[in-house]
Structure 1
Amino acid sequence: MNIKKATPWLLILLCTAACQQTDSDQALYKRDTHDEPRLTTEQLPNNLYDTNSAGLRKVENGYAAERVREQDLLNRGGVASPSINKRHLAGAISELATSIDDVSDTTTLATDKEVLIAYQGNGDDREELADQVKKSALSLIPRWYHVYVADDADLQSELERLGELPAEAEATRTEVDQMIEHMIANYPQGEKVSTVENENGERNGQSKWYKDSAPQDAKKRMGQ
């Protein structure tokens, strides 16, 4: 047997065998987790997007792929709305915004559908800085969220106070709405998000969307 000629083939066979033995959990993307059991709430990672309702499988290297078949949706009774760890989301936005030049301090309030940001800005162009802060939030939040900003250090303590109030209380919702209106009326909001959305990510013709989209009984309580 010619050893020199056999060596390349032997190396190929060894590499193939080694690759087949690689633990699938180390793969960059999980190809199909459909038949694997979903994690319990206790097993789920404490990450930015707390997907307890969907039960996404944890992948140790930080990537995950989830396959969903039509039958899965039928079994679940429809599309599951992911819950979001709002405290972690607010913290991540504040960190990213504070990393911007000319921003020295940031406080973020995250609700189910909007993000309010108060920051201390040192730049001359307030509009440009507001746009940068807003875009830092847009890079992290779900697409249905809207963003409101204010370069006012005095509002930081107000956002912190709102963050400690009971989220389901009518009075809390009213205060958040009032804060949003105050931010829009008194502080730069940056450029329009897109050709069909205003500076806060609201679609054209849908200003005060947080009231317009409220359930009818909630509108009655708001006096509309």
Structure 2
Amino acid sequence: MKKLVVIAGLCTLTALAGCQKDTANRDVYEESGNTINVNNKRHELYREGAAKDVRNVSTSYGFVRHQKSPLMNDNTANDTYSALDREQVANVISKLSVNIPHVSDVATLVTDQEVLVAYDTNSKDRKMTADQVKRTAMSVVPRFYHVYVSDNKALMQDVENLASFDSTNRKARDSVNQVIKQMKKSPQGYRMNDSEDENGLTPDDSNRTMTNR
């Protein structure tokens, strides 16, 4: 009988230890740097409840400007998102873009349907650099977004000025369209594919854009 009591006691202790170990493992997993970093990043770039309509996450445009750091690999960002916090997405695009060769200064504005990226570069292949900047932005935002780029440094201030507008303001839309018109005078890179032009517009998008403007 004593042996049975001892064995039963050992089994109980073993089970308790196992539970504690499982709990510890969950704690370590939940508190690990990678897990928390990922979740924190998601909360920075996603707004809770925004997934239902990513076009209307907020009424504010998101603007961020980045300059290349003299330190190697100091401007890294490796996240992609769907429901957008526009300012945080602009931050990611700018950070990634200043890591592109020959690009030293990037101003990015994210609206409810476009990304505008003005940048400073000394690249001799303007079209190639424009394509790299554009595709970098495309890799971050949802696919319905259209991306416009320009290596005209003077437009960096114009892009920044748009950040003060409320996106529900009619004047804001007119101002964005005017800046886009100026940006398109610069190389926009190559066509995205057979059905989308350099800015990611399909024929249907182009018709709607012309009607709206």
TM-score (norm 1): 0.63
**Percentage identity across aligned positions?**
34
CA contact (8 A) 2:155 2:183 kept: no
Q: Which moved more, 1:17-26 or 1:111-120?
A: 17-26
Matched position secondary structure for 2:147: strand
- Partners of 1:45 and 1:206 lie apart in 2 by 29
Instruction: Give the one of 36, 45, 49 matched to 1:48.
Output: 45
- Partners of 1:178 and 1:53 lie apart in 2 by 29
What does residue 26 of structure 2 align with?
23
2:53 aligned with 1:81 = yes
Give 5+ residue unaligned stretches, structure 1. 1-12, 28-42, 55-79, 213-218
What does residue 189 of structure 1 align with?
188
What does residue 197 of structure 2 align with?
198
* Larger helix percent: 2
- Partners of 2:28 and 2:207 lie apart in 1 by 46
Change (3 A) 1:122 1:166: same
Residue identity opposite 2:173 in structure 1: R
Give the deviation of 1:166 after TM superposition: 2.2
TM-score (norm 2): 0.66
After superposition, the C-alpha distances for 1:62-107 in whole angstroms (9 at most, x for unaligned) are: xxxxxxxxxxxxxxxxxx2243211111111111111111001010
Change (3 A) 1:209 1:181: farther
- Partners of 1:165 and 1:142 lie apart in 2 by 22
CA contact (8 A) 1:123 1:129 kept: yes
Matched position secondary structure for 2:155: helix
Give the deviation of 1:174 after TM superposition: 0.6
CA contact (8 A) 1:130 1:188 kept: yes
Matched position secondary structure for 1:124: coil
What does residue 160 of structure 1 align with?
160
How many equivalent residue pairs? 162
Across the aligned residues of Structure 1 and Structure 2, the Cα RMSD in angstroms comes to 3.0
